[in-house]
């Protein structure tokens, strides 16, 4: 039996040829940039995946290219329920809408599909059949136990681990022997009959990591499994990125080690390799240490973290762009209003040794961003977030939208706005005291004036004699000064006070603090004048009456 006959027996239903497929999926055109996000639905999306998506998207958009989504579900045993839906959700949430994609059992957009690997079985088989018929791949019957034994022996003998050379036991089976075993019902894999020589090197140019000298692959790598009729990642990468005409593969650093296999696979078929960007590992500062960010230990490694906490999409994307390219922040300073896709991303400016991700930095970016939003924008974002993550608060802020917006507008829409919200979950803890439904003071942080009779007399005096809802800010402050002066043992003259603080019960700032704490139970708040104005007389009187 010839190899060709073996291939025919193994895949009798595969009648298409590679040439047929080449015609079905033609080149997309000379200068079309094509990137793809190709997640495996074996877990929930993490920040490393997200870094790849951002780069995929920026590269495609910068070049008016195509960005497509491919579901790499070949490892079906490890598939996690809901993972695909979550990936789609994240893309939608951050507005990284793929130009081409497929929803299982639903729509397909694009002419290069199917975009779900488990639906591409027959396509892969065309390529596998070809390799077998050319004698460039072979069925392998090694069991897991046999392979484990080889690995152990190699480790003991301190030789390179792998199925190469003499360790590739099925490599020299004749087509007849192979067919006999297949017919006997033995499970098999298909392995590439590697022609590489580990002692030879080749030059690989990674856009982020630069030029590298790598050893050739000489492993008879598994490319297909009869048990699932699906290819391994390596082979699917070759077939899919070739037929889908991907020009740039952006993927995690962990795939770097597989480059020699991919290099050999592309060479075997005479295909041009796409350009590669192996993204850096995302690192985190942990005490004095810098370590790899961990999905298990670090909540911020999971993409759910950002949505649950209510980080604006702008802030998250910005923080990722700053780790993607070292000159992004400088560019942003000069282009505060530009879209991030206008930035001239260069893979060369990535940091191959690892990218340090820092939540403080994200908070900073986000505080600046939110501070520049209008009260209407802030309200809309807060409304949208709280609808999902804090229903009670959502109802409260919607009872009197104008009141809520006025609160959100304290020290906003001005030249130097207040920067106290990094995420929407920061809002409630900052303004809860403005809402009767939430006002339930537990502990008062009284300042210098902390005698309850004294406090009550100050605030009552304020409401009865010095409060006027129509005052402008200056008049309001002058009245607080007058109130201070009117009381025995207090002064509004700070100079006088500082010269001899023990001679006074308090100064004008202490009196303000006293009013602030009495009304909000907080000793730190945004502008007290605005707070008093917004609370209004009824609330003020009620809170004063309830002082305990
Ligand atoms: N499915 C692979 C992963 O999730 C894709 C890597 C790639 O982008 O090629 O790691």
DSSP readout, 370-404? HHTS-HHHHHHHHHHHHHHH-HHHHHHHHHTHHHH
Q: Is the CB of 251 under 6 A from ligand 1?
A: yes
Token pair in block for residue 323: 């780790």
- Helix, strand and coil percent figures for the chain, each rounded to 5: 50, 15, 35
For residue 444, what pLDDT is reported?
81
**Ligand 1 centroid distance, CA of 194 (Å):** 23
Tell me how far apart the alpha carbons of residues 492 and 477 are, in angstroms, rounded to a whole number.
11
Report the nearest-CA residue for atom 9 of ligand 1.
Answer: 251
**Ligand 1 centroid distance, CA of 354 (Å):** 18
In DSSP terms, 235 is beta-bridged to none
Coil, strand or helix: which one is 66? strand
Q: Regarding beta strands 248-252 and 275-279, do their DSSP bridges make them parallel or antiparallel, or are they unpaired?
A: parallel
Tell me how far apart the alpha carbons of residues 24 and 32 are, in angstroms, rounded to a whole number.
18
Q: Are 265 and 193 in contact (CB under 8 A)?
A: no
For residue 446, what pLDDT is reported?
85
With a cut of 50, list the residues of the chain below it in pLDDT: none
Report the nearest-CA residue for atom 6 of ligand 1.
Answer: 251
Coil, strand or helix: which one is 250? strand
For residue 30, what pLDDT is reported?
85
Counting ligand 1 atoms within 8 A of each CB, the residue from 37, 116, 255 with the most, and so the one to mutate, is: 255
Q: Is the CB of 48 under 6 A from ligand 1?
A: no
CB atoms inside a 10 Å sphere around CB 199: 8
For residue 245, what pLDDT is reported?
98
Q: Is the CB of 234 under 6 A from ligand 1?
A: no
Coil, strand or helix: which one is 190? strand
**Ligand 1 centroid distance, CA of 71 (Å):** 9
In percent, the amount of the chain with pLDDT more than 70 equals 100
- Give the torsion sign (CA, 43, 235, 279, 338): negative
**Ligand 1 centroid distance, CA of 249 (Å):** 9
- Which domains does the chain carry? 3-13+121-279 (3.40.50.620), 31-115+280-372 (3.40.50.620), 374-433 (no CATH), 452-545 (1.10.10.350)
For residue 110, what pLDDT is reported?
97
For residue 396, what pLDDT is reported?
98
Tell me how far apart the alpha carbons of residues 321 and 301 are, in angstroms, rounded to a whole number.
16
Tell me how far apart the alpha carbons of residues 548 and 546 are, in angstroms, rounded to a whole number.
6
**Ligand 1 centroid distance, CA of 316 (Å):** 22
């Amino acid at each position: 039996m010839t190899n060709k006959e073996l291939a025919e027996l193994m895949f009798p239903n595969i009648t298409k040829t590679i040439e047929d497929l080449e015609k079905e999926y033609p080149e997309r055109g000379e200068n079309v940039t094509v990137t793809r996000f190709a997640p495996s639905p074996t877990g929930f999306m993490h920040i490393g995946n997200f870094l790849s998506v951002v780069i995929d998207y920026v590269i495609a958009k910068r070049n008016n290219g195509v960005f497509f989504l491919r579901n790499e579900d070949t490892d079906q045993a490890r598939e996690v329920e809901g993972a695909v839906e979550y990936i789609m959700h994240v893309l939608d949430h951050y507005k990284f809408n793929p130009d081409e994609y497929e929803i299982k059992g639903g729509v397909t957009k694009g002419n290069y599909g199917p975009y779900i690997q488990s639906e591409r079985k027959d396509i892969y088989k065309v390529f596998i059949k070809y390799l077998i018929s050319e004698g460039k791949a072979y069925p392998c019957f090694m069991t897991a136990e046999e392979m484990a034994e080889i690995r152990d022996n190699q480790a003991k003998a301190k030789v390179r681990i792998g199925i190469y050379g003499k360790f590739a036991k099925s490599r020299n089976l004749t087509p007849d022997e192979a067919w006999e075993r297949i017919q006997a019902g033995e499970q098999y894999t298909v392995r590439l009959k590697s022609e590489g020589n580990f002692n030879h090197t080749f030059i690989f140019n990674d856009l982020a990591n630069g030029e590298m000298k790598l050893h050739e692959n000489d492993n008879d790598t598994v490319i297909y499994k009869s048990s699932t009729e699906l290819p391994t990642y390596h082979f699917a990468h070759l077939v899919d990125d070739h037929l889908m005409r991907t020009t740039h593969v952006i993927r995690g650093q962990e795939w770097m080690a597989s480059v020699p296999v991919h290099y050999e696979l592309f060479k075997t078929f005479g295909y041009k390799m796409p350009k590669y960007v192996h993204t850096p590992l995302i690192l985190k500062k942990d005490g004095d240490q810098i370590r790899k960010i961990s999905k298990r230990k670090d909540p911020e490694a999971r993409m759910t973290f950002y949505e649950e906490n209510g980080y604006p999409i702008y802030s998250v994307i910005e923080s990722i762009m700053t780790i993607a390219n070292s000159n992004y922040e400088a560019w942003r300073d000069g282009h505060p209003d530009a879209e991030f896709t206008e930035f001239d991303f260069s893979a060369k400016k990535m940091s191959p040794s690892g990218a340090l991700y820092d939540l403080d930095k994200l908070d900073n970016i986000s505080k600046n961003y939110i501070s520049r939003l209008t009260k209407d924008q802030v309200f809309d974002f807060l409304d949208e977030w709280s609808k999902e993550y804090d229903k009670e608060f959502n109802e409260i802020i919607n009872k009197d939208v104008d009141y809520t917006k006025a609160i959100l507008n304290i020290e906003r829409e001005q030249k130097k706005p207040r920067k106290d919200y990094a995420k929407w979950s920061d809002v409630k803890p900052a303004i809860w005291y403005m809402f009767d439904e939430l006002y339930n003071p537990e502990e008062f942080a009284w300042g210098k004036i902390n005698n309850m009779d004294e406090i009550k007399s100050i605030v009552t005096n304020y409401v009865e004699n010095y409060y006027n809802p129509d005052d402008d800010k200056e008049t309001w402050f002058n009245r607080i000064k007058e109130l201070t002066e009117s009381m025995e043992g207090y002064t509004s003259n700070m100079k006088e006070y500082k010269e001899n603080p023990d001679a006074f019960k308090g100064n004008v700032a202490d009196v303000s603090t006293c009013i602030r704490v009495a009304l909000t139970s907080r000793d730190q708040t945004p502008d007290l004048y605005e707070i008093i104005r917004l609370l209004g007389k009824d609330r003020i009187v009620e809170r004063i009456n309830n002082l305990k």
